[in-house]
Amino acid sequence: MSKIKPSKGAPYARILGVGGYRPTRVVPNEVILETIDSSDEWIRSRSGIATRHWASPEETVAAMSVEASGKAIADAGINPEQIGAVIVSTVSHFKQTPAVATEIADRIGAGKPAAFDISAGCAGFGYGLTLAKGMIVEGSAEYVLVIGVERLSDLTDLEDRATAFLFGDGAGAVVVGPSDEPHIGPTVWGSEGDKSETIKQTVPWNEFSVGDVSKLPLDRNGEIKFPAITQEGQAVFRWAVFEMAKVAQQALDAAGISADDLDVFIPHQANMRIIDSMVKTLKLPEHVTVARDVETTGNTSAASIPLAMERLLATGKAKSGDTALIIGFGAGLVFAATVVTLP
């Protein structure tokens, strides 16, 4: 018989506050067209993107996260010292160690919380949210700060016609805390590693730093290209449209609700055509508000869902207490979907 005492966590968890940060520089499609042979009309028709935000040297992964976190903590009505864990999802923090979560925790005055980074691409926010829920119910933390943050402008090949226009920078954060009622549903998540080559980094860091220069990609000026994100657009599009709609439906079923019960749909902001196709496949009713933040923010990977959530609430298009379906999907190929109550 075990001598270990049972955990004394909360019965359930919920999102208590949300915050976002978008870099000050707004980059229209015209800037992208300086390095690729395309048009504003083509970019908009393919992706729905008109502008995106790119970070300045001062707007680091940590700095953007601190700004978003401060807003989320204030929105939740708690003190930073009450945070028991900080989870950061990012693929664009270039220090292998220490985790940027530790720096963020210190800068926001959180004391000595658990702090770690995760790498789950565009599904990272959903992964972090699921981990936070588990911590609160298990009792290892009362409040958890979950951050999705990216500086994808650092990993964008501006000469790649297929991806140069896609990516943006920013940070979104939520505070997850205890609840007497279920406000975060079961997560439907997973991966399809056999498709991992469809979205990837062009050159591994070790090959870029010490590899055979003759094998590295060069730009139009003959200079070695910095590693960037590349993808097989059509394959990713088909996977997202057909397979992720199934995952989204599974998340609805797991939460015990139907599309008619939804108030809001917040998918990963990858592409407007993907979003619209998922809405059609899921047969979402007219009353459901759909996040289309991608038009002015671009694809910010792990940051896209909390940024879109924050904007919907700030503009009044969604309100506290609304029931929302969120789903993230991307490199890996990984995915995570769940139903939440908005803060």
Can you tell me the distance from the alpha carbon of 65 to that of 298, in angstroms, rounded to the nearest whole number?
18
Pairing of strands 12-21, 169-179: antiparallel
Verify whether residue 29 is a known catalytic residue.
Answer: no
Verify whether residue 299 is a known catalytic residue.
Answer: yes
Can you tell me the distance from the alpha carbon of 81 to that of 128, in angstroms, rounded to the nearest whole number?
20
**Helix, strand, or coil (residue 159):** coil
Sequence-distant contacts of 201-207: CB under 8 A, at least 24 apart: 201/155, 201/227, 201/228, 201/229, 201/230, 202/157, 202/227, 202/228, 202/229, 202/230, 203/227
Find all residues with CB under 8 Å of 297, minimum gap 6, and list them. 22, 51, 52, 53, 168, 170, 269, 304, 307, 308
Verify whether residue 271 is a known catalytic residue.
Answer: no
Residues 184 and 13: beta-carbon distance below 8 Å: yes
> What are φ and ψ of residue 328, in 5° steps?
-120, 150
Of 29, 53, 268, 271, the catalytic one is 268
Q: How many CA atoms, within 13 angstroms, populate the side-chain half-sphere of residue 280?
A: 8
Can you tell me the distance from the alpha carbon of 66 to that of 144, in angstroms, rounded to the nearest whole number?
15
Q: How many CA atoms, within 13 angstroms, populate the side-chain half-sphere of residue 108?
A: 35
Residue 282, class by beta-carbon neighbours within 10 Å (0-12 exposed, 13-18 middle, 19+ buried)? buried
Of 53, 93, 122, 271, the catalytic one is 122
Of 29, 53, 183, 299, the catalytic one is 299
Query: Looking at the annotation, which residues are catalytic?
Result: 122, 268, 299
